[in-house]
Structure 1
Amino acid sequence: MGMKAGFFWLGFLLACILASTSADETLNLWPMPVSVNHGLQTHCLRKNFALKTEGSKYADGSGILKDGFSRLLDVIDVSRAADKLTNFNNFPMLLGLHVIISSSSDELQYGVDESYKLSVPGNGNPNYAQLEAQTVYGALHGLQTFSQLCHLNLETRIIEVRPTPCTIEDQPRFSYRGLLIDTSRHYLPLRTIKSVIDAMAYSKLNVLHWHIVDSQSFPLEIPSFPKLWNGAYSASERYTMVDAAEIVRYAQRRGINVLAEFDVPGHAMSWGKGYPSLWPSPNCSEPLDVSNEFTFQVINGILSDFKRVFKFRFVHLGGDEVKTDCWVTTPRVGRWLSKKGMNKSDAYKYFVLQVQKIALSHGYEVINWEETFNNFGKQLSPKTVVQNWLDNSVPEKVVAAGLRCIISNQDKWYLDHMDQSWRDFYTNEPLSNITDPTQKKLVIGGEVCMWGEYVDGSDIQQTIWPRAAAAAERLWTSYDKLAKDPEQVIGRLAHFRCLLNQRGIAAAPLLGYGRAVPTEPGSCYKQ
């Protein structure tokens, strides 16, 4: 074989190797899509890259798609690109993105179709990339993925799209992919909550679990019982119902549902600041007074007001860590228990089931923490979703009983545990030890929890990210595409962490554990 022929075949072999390289190794996408096929070319974006919607059934009367496209242009730094592409090196040019949505509805609810197909053409003519989705919310996910294909080349001032041609087909593994924030332990400003929502959208999480009130404070306005927010830390650390509606609207326009929680009968001392009769006694303020009908009237009023704002199918009623001693040590409540023939365990069950009935009467389905299932599981409403956090064996028991389950085990998915690294979050498998296909379907997803004792507006983002993003890939990406060894994804996750930083999200370095800091000078991608 001659030298020229040898070089030819060597070049051909290298081309074949590159062409067959897996998407995991060549694409910095997070979370990894279900299916990716791509070449090795580069396209460039025209400065006035446009949105095209011909053929779409979705009219976008509310502007959700238009706003999503505007956010796309913002995060890919179109404003920094050259006005005229004089140095595009003969890259094929993309004139815009053609979005075709099959459904005319923009109702956001649990189980909405979030699938999409994204295609970037391979020919050299000016052309459009194409995004197809059943719903506008699938299209929003497609926009997020497209944004990660775009790279601003600061030498040429060209926004490059690579690698192309590219076809991505994608859909989530789980329909519930949540993040809990806690505004009782520390008040979070509205801008902070919106920033968290932005980062959730970048990561393809779709449920903001808003743990609004707890023992320490009651910051939310309840029009039916206006003294409840007397339990806020201060007059300025409060949310009006208009504020709450704005958070719901802001999240909905990014494809994120808001799950509202008030935790009863425990974790509710702050309620009595405005209505002391909700306490069993002035000296014994928790749990809420089970013997007082007024307690259930207040809960009914809260749920009535919630229904006007929080449109998600579910409401979270807590039910965890209930210490019932107040009920038996308060003589008045003790006499009520005796009259009803109840002990304190019976009263705990009575309270939880009564509140469930009230929520169901308002059209909600119910989420409760796992203690309710552990104590009286078979008597919970069939419309109950059990949120696991304590015992890793509970999920298989929940689904075996025919109830739905959300995984939030504290040894892996609690963000306030600073000793847990992103690797713990990535490797936590929601379907561990559940093998029956029917029972697997009852695990509707998972949730990472940012409890608020040690976070506020100053440090919440770097405590959440990038660890929550590691869990987001576990919840979005099909099981067969997930890395068996988390070290295989460290480059992609580091790239995504830097992308979050560039977008204004204060995600911490991967090195170290929760809320880590850079260890020395160096590139973002090496931290």
Structure 2
Amino acid sequence: MGRFPFRVLVFALVFAEMVVGISGGNVEDVKVWPLPYSVSYGHKNMYMIGDFKLLSDGSKYSDASGILKDGFSRFIDLLKVAHVVDGNVSKYGNSSVLVGLNVVILTQDDELQYGIDESYKLLVPSPKKPAYAQIEAQTVYGALHALQTLSQICQFNFKSRIIEVPMTPWTISDKPRFPFRGLLIDTSRHYQPVPVIKSVIDSMAYAKLNVLHWHIVDMQSFPLEIPSYPKLWNGAYSVSERYTMADAAEIVSYAQKRGINVLAEIDVPGHALSWGVGYPSLWPSKDCQQPLDVSNNFTFKVIDGILSDFSKVFKFKFVHLGGDEVDTSCWRTTSHISKWLKEHGMNESEAYQYFVLQAQKIALSHGFEPVNWEETFNNFGKKLSPKTVVHNWLGGGVAENIVKAGLRCVVSNQDKWYLHYLDTPWPLFYLNEPLTNITDPSQQKLVIGGEVCMWGETVDASDIQQTIWPRAAAAAERLWTPYNKLAKDAMLVAGRLAHFRCLLNQRGIAAAPLNAVGRGTPYEPGSCYNQ
């Protein structure tokens, strides 16, 4: 598709209307992204007092960890981030004033794990006295999603200089379609400073993504401290482009307070040249440096040490072990490995299988369930641990084979959900369906979700956010919103996505225009909402 025709098409359809799953009007009137499960709204305005309070009357949740309190503070900050709120609500009368938010959480536990209940109900009344908005959720993480939704339906009134909630009464019932809604970032190809990673986490929460897949290391650099093997981070680009384990713990804690799990990845046995900078014996030889030496017991001791250290910091039940793009020629041409293969009756393919399965056993011994890229399934799927999650990336048609084999799957097919492909426009992200050709309900449940991938070859702190957004948001709605509420024509949601993109900009997130491809810039002067 040419660049100019795409631009014209967006401008022509950006404010198209549609009616689907909304009570009270058009879906384009509901400026919420991703679109909730069920929405009704009215035609009255309510106005928030300056001292908007958080209550928890009837809640079973004590908030000992402060997750809800912090989430509410961030919600208030989001309402005030774009403008100075210095107006007075008194002229609107007590019946039109929202004095607070009552959050009722029905369970005490706030441990964040895969499959936790993220549903919520949000009620904003019509004018009455006294007026409180209400959130009800099974868990605090559902309540955090409700706060994100409420932040999107609030707006600054430029006449009164206060925050208003238009179109009341609002009744929203919401829950995610998939339990795994991910974004991969790559800190090996380019180092991403901790504040940038935190900014990415914040932006993920705005779009209700809930898994940060941290592709920590690769052949180019090994930036993370591993206490068990402290020379590994000698493979970092420089002494300042590193993460301590305390940094990693801070990232995990920061994400957890926003309802986001961190999926850590070490990609083995390929993509591991940087490991040998600190420990050269991990290389097959100095002249042939990857994949990791399958014949050396030290290789697996290092993997065990890494995953042992991971288990103390990364609390998500899954760990990603990679396993993709393994060129085994170094094993064949290195004499001591070739000798080992013969002694163990293995060819190169069998040694690849042996390596992946050994890494899986180590991960399982530390309480993790393994995630592997799809090559492992394509080559020896029946041998994988039944606890394996297979990560699809090469293309379509693989997910249905994975779930037919009884394994779980995460979809990231590169032709639609790889963000570094700058010529892939947002409508393709929106229309990519993880359950394509999977009709058996039991098999559909094995597709636990999907992930957009921000590979880092051409991405650093200067351009990561504008490359992620708004295309990742298009995928986020696919992963959150019920299938029957999704638009069949992506252009029908262009106006609502444009609004979300502008909201990201107002919150300091450098999301690119919709009418650009990849991380393009505006073509000409004009309103944010028309770009």
TM-score in terms of structure 1 length: 0.95
Q: What are the ranges of 5 or more consecutive residues in structure 1 without an aligned counterpart?
A: 1-18
Q: CA deviation at 1:122?
A: 1.9
Amino acid at match of 2:69: K
Render the CA deviation track for 1:319-344: whole Å, top value 9, x for unaligned. Answer: 00000000010011000000001000
Q: CA deviation at 1:83?
A: 5.0
Range moving further from structure 2, 117-126 or 465-474:
117-126
Render the CA deviation track for 1:495-525: whole Å, top value 9, x for unaligned. Answer: 0000000001000000021001011111111
Shift in alpha-carbon separation, 1:20–1:220, aligned structure 2, 3 A:
closer
Q: Is 1:162 the counterpart of 2:141 in the alignment?
A: no
Q: Is 1:320 the counterpart of 2:324 in the alignment?
A: yes
CA contact (8 A) 1:88 1:158 kept: no
Pairing of 1:99-248 with structure 2 (within 5 A): 99-248=103-252
Q: CA deviation at 1:154?
A: 1.6
Q: Over the residues paired in the alignment, what is the CA RMSD in angstroms?
A: 1.2
Render the CA deviation track for 1:149-200: whole Å, top value 9, x for unaligned. Answer: 1101122112110210010000000000000000000000000000000000
2:466 to 453, 457, 462: 462
State the match for 1:57 in structure 2.
60
CA contact (8 A) 2:270 2:323 kept: yes
Q: Is 1:424 the counterpart of 2:428 in the alignment?
A: yes
Render the CA deviation track for 1:353-403: whole Å, top value 9, x for unaligned. Answer: 000000000010000000000000010000000000003111000000000
CA contact (8 A) 1:76 1:147 kept: yes
Instruction: Indicate the SS of the match to 1:267.
Output: coil
CA contact (8 A) 1:268 1:287 kept: yes
CA contact (8 A) 1:406 1:443 kept: yes
State the match for 1:9 in structure 2.
none
CA contact (8 A) 2:409 2:447 kept: yes
Render the CA deviation track for 1:472-507: whole Å, top value 9, x for unaligned. Answer: 000000001101111110000000000000001000
Q: CA deviation at 1:420?
A: 0.4
1:452 to 432, 452, 456: 456
Distance 2:417 2:26 in 1: 27
Instruction: Indicate the SS of the match to 2:449.
Output: strand
Ranked by relative contact order (alpha carbons within 8 Å, sequence separation 6 or more), the top structure is: 2
Amino acid at match of 1:50: K
2:74 to 71, 89, 93: 71
State the match for 1:386 in structure 2.
390
TM-score in terms of structure 2 length: 0.94
CA contact (8 A) 2:121 2:136 kept: yes
Distance 2:88 2:408 in 1: 55
Q: CA deviation at 1:107?
A: 0.2
State the match for 1:28 in structure 2.
31
Give the number of aligned pairs.
Answer: 509
Amino acid at match of 2:309: D
Distance 2:280 2:480 in 1: 45
| Higher Cα radius of gyration | 1
Instruction: Indicate the SS of the match to 1:435.
Output: coil
State the match for 2:487 in structure 1.
483
State the match for 1:496 in structure 2.
500
State the match for 1:12 in structure 2.
none
State the match for 2:346 in structure 1.
342
Q: Is 1:279 the counterpart of 2:276 in the alignment?
A: no
Q: Is 1:438 the counterpart of 2:465 in the alignment?
A: no
Distance 1:347 1:467 in 2: 39
Distance 1:22 1:111 in 2: 33
Render the CA deviation track for 1:410-464: whole Å, top value 9, x for unaligned. Answer: 0000000000011010000000010111100000000000000000000000000
1:524 to 500, 504, 528: 528
State the match for 2:399 in structure 1.
395
Distance 2:302 2:528 in 1: 50
CA contact (8 A) 1:178 1:448 kept: yes
CA contact (8 A) 1:426 1:486 kept: yes
Render the CA deviation track for 1:251-277: whole Å, top value 9, x for unaligned. Answer: 000000000001000000000000000
Q: CA deviation at 1:123?
A: 3.7
Q: CA deviation at 1:91?
A: 6.8
CA contact (8 A) 1:44 1:91 kept: no
State the match for 2:364 in structure 1.
360
Instruction: Indicate the SS of the match to 1:97.
Output: strand
Q: CA deviation at 1:23?
A: 4.8
Distance 1:23 1:267 in 2: 49
CA contact (8 A) 2:48 2:162 kept: yes
Q: Is 1:255 the counterpart of 2:259 in the alignment?
A: yes
State the match for 2:418 in structure 1.
414
Amino acid at match of 1:427: L
